[in-house]
Structure 1
Amino acid sequence: MLFFEPKSRYWPKGPVDLDHSGMPLHASRVIRQGTDVTVVGHGAMVSTLLQAADIAADEGTSIEVVDLRSLSPIDYGPLLASVQRTGRLVVAQEAYGFVSIGSEIAATVAERAFYSLEAPVLRVSSFDTPFPPAALETEYLPSPDRVLEAVDRALKY
C-alpha cells in the first residue's frame, strides 16, 4: 500500500472521540447535510469544502459535503444519494484537473445519476502546471472562494 500525507493536515487540532468504533476503511460519508449542492473531495480538500460550506451557509446556500475517504475503491453510494437529493455536484481536488480522479468521479456520477442532475458536474482543481514553491501554494491549490465560484455556476443552471 502507498499512503500520501498532506502536510497541511498535520497542524489542525480538535477533539478525538476515543469511544467511536470507526467506519469501514473504504466507506465514504456525508459529513455535512445540505439541500442545494453536493460538493465532494478527499484528504486535505475536505477542510476546504467545509470552510466553503460555512461561508455559503452565511449567504443562504445549503451545501452538502461528502468525504470520499478512499480512492480505490470509491464508495459511490453516499455520493450518488446526495446528488439525487441536491441535483448538483462540484468535485474538488488538489490534483490537476486533466485526467484525474475528479474527472473519473464526474464521469461516473454523470453515467449513474444523469437524470437527477439539474446542472453539469463541475470540477475545481489545481492548475495544470508544475507544483509551485511553498510561498505560492495557497494560490495554486483550490480555495473556498474557488469552490464557491463553482457552486454559484452550478446554481445558475
Structure 2
Amino acid sequence: MLIPPFDEQSATEKVRMAEDAWNSREPRRVSQVYSPETRWRNRSECLQGREAAVAFLTRKWAKELDYRLIKELWAWQNDRLAVRFAYEWHDDSGNWFRSYGNENWRFGADGLMTERFACINDLPIAASERLFHWPLGRRPDDHPGLSELGL
C-alpha cells in the first residue's frame, strides 16, 4: 500500500489504483482503501464509514450502468491528493451521460483514505459521443487518459 507523504510518482500510482478499483464496480473491493471511519461528500450526499461507502457504491452502480471511469492526478501535497475525473454511463432507459468532477482526498499514515470530497456534474451525451471504449473493467494502459482526450 502506498502511504504518505506522496511524491508525484506515488500520487500518480495511488490515483490509478483508485481508478482500477472503481472500474471493477465491486463496492467491497473499492471500500478496502478507505478507513473504517472515512468521511465522504459526494454531490449533495454526506456519509461516514466504510459500510456507508459500500451502500452508496451499491446504489450508484445499480443506477449508473456500463460505468467506465478515468482519473487523473491534479495536485498533491504530503497526505492530500487532488484528482480530476470523468466517467461515462447510461441509465436504465439507455440515456448516456459523461460525468465530470474533482475530488479532494486525505490519507492517514496507514495509506487508507480518511476523507473524500467530490463535486460532480452530469452532461447528457449521445451514444455516438462516447469516448471511453474498452471492455468493462480496468482501463487498458494504451487507452488515452483525460488530457489525451481533450477533457
TM class by smaller structure: under 0.3
**TM-score, normalized by length of structure 2?**
0.28
Higher relative contact order (CA 8 A, sep 6+): 2
